[in-house]
Amino acid sequence: MSRNMGGFLASKRRQRQLITLGRVLVSVLAILYAVFPVLWIASASFDPRNSLAQQRLIPPNASLENYRALLNNPLQPFPRWMLNSIKISLITSILAVLISALAAYAFSRFHFRGRRSLLLTILLVQVFPNFLAMVAIFLLLQQIKNYIPSLGLNTHGGLILVYLGGALGINTWLMKGFFDAVPRDLDESARIDGASDWQVFWRIIFPLVRPILAVVGVLTFIGTYSEVLLASVLLRSKENFTLAVGLWQLIEGQYTQKWGIFAAGALIGAIPIMVLYLIAQDWIIGGLTRGAVKG
């Protein structure tokens, strides 16, 4: 008996050791893989030579020149762009999460006729390739501008509105799956206590699905933050640009590519997303869920 116990313990420990070793190895490789190109961008940002071809990992005359140029250029208000991007993405992701969650709750809890077809239709509609929609959306916002100026062309409100058009979609289905995993007994017991649908949703279910809300929020934030096609068509004045638009213009010029400045901008621009993810991580991992689901 004791010999078995000894063998059992030993193998369990070795298993754990192996797993940890494996994990460390994976971490190193994965981080290298993930970060290497970004390291390259970082190195370019410190290289005053502005040429992609001549780059080395450690730039020979490293300097902060690009950063200075980036931040002190009154004609390219980079800090303003950052603020715009953060503001637009934040508002869009919060609203998108709400809109999607409401719909996901309905899909999950109410088994109405045509439920599945509606969801499928929504998903299929969102699959439509959006390139040419550019013209339609442009003209639409231009018209809206005539009646509700704050939501028209060249406004952040208008851009947010356009982004929210995509709020219902695959994220809804993702959320629905999560909502499905929350047992109905919770709903029932709340209802017995006299709660309405809305209260069930807001007080009980919503907090339980925090991880998926955080995931969708982060994804939406990132998606809108780096979106450049619609934003460059709909935003006109420099002060209104988002970060993505500003950076895009820096490198899509004719033969003149301010690669170094562009790299500096990209790097600084990446910070909000990192911060966001760090904050949101807790929610994504959310311990509470597991407890509730068990019950």
- From the list 2-10, 64-72, 86-94, 174-182, the region that binds other proteins by CB under 8 A is 174-182
Q: Can you read off the two tokens belonging to residue 140? A: 């639409």
Min separation Cβ 187 and other proteins, Å: 8
- CB closer to other proteins out of 64 and 199: 199
170 touches 126 (CB < 8 A):
yes
Decide if residue 155 touches other proteins (CB under 8 A).
no
- CB closer to other proteins out of 5 and 129: 129
Q: Can you read off the two tokens belonging to residue 14? A: 């070795």
Decide if residue 46 touches other proteins (CB under 8 A).
no
Instruction: Name the DSSP letter for residue 64.
Output: S
Q: Given candidates 71, 83, 90, 130, which one binds other proteins under the rule CB under 8 A?
A: 130
Q: Cβ–Cβ contacts within 10 Å for residue 86, how many?
A: 19
Decide if residue 58 touches other proteins (CB under 8 A).
no
Decide if residue 111 touches other proteins (CB under 8 A).
yes
- CB closer to other proteins out of 1 and 124: 124
Task: From 280, 272, 288, select the one nearest 87 (Cα to Cα).
Answer: 272
40 touches 57 (CB < 8 A):
yes
- From the list 1-9, 60-68, 86-94, 103-111, the region that binds other proteins by CB under 8 A is 103-111
Q: Given candidates 69, 70, 167, 205, which one binds other proteins under the rule CB under 8 A?
A: 167
- # chain residues binding other proteins, by CB under 8 A: 129
Task: From 209, 232, 237, 242, select the one nearest 88 (Cα to Cα).
Answer: 242
Decide if residue 30 touches other proteins (CB under 8 A).
yes
Radius of gyration of the chain (CA): 25
Q: Given candidates 46, 212, 224, 260, which one binds other proteins under the rule CB under 8 A?
A: 212
Round to whole Å and give the CA distance between 215 and 221. 10
Decide if residue 231 touches other proteins (CB under 8 A).
no
3-state SS string over 109-144?
HCCCCCHHHHHHHHHHHHCCCCCCHHHHHHHHHHHH
Residues in region 67-86 near other proteins by CB under 8 A: 75-76
Task: From 277, 167, 288, select the one nearest 214 (Cα to Cα).
Answer: 277
- CB closer to other proteins out of 86 and 162: 162
Q: Given candidates 71, 91, 204, 228, which one binds other proteins under the rule CB under 8 A?
A: 228
Residues in region 250-279 near other proteins by CB under 8 A: 250-257, 262, 266, 269-271, 273-274, 277-278
Q: Can you read off the two tokens belonging to residue 119? A: 């969801």
Q: Can you read off the two tokens belonging to residue 98? A: 């709400």
Decide if residue 139 touches other proteins (CB under 8 A).
yes
Min separation Cβ 82 and other proteins, Å: 13
- CB closer to other proteins out of 150 and 199: 199
What b/e string do you get for 14-45 counting C-beta neighbours within 10 Å, with b at 16 or more? Answer: eeeeeeeeeeeeeeeeeeeeeeeeeeebbbbb
- CB closer to other proteins out of 1 and 53: 53
Task: From 269, 273, 224, 223, select the one nearest 246 (Cα to Cα).
Answer: 269
Instruction: Name the DSSP letter for residue 101.
Output: H
Decide if residue 62 touches other proteins (CB under 8 A).
no
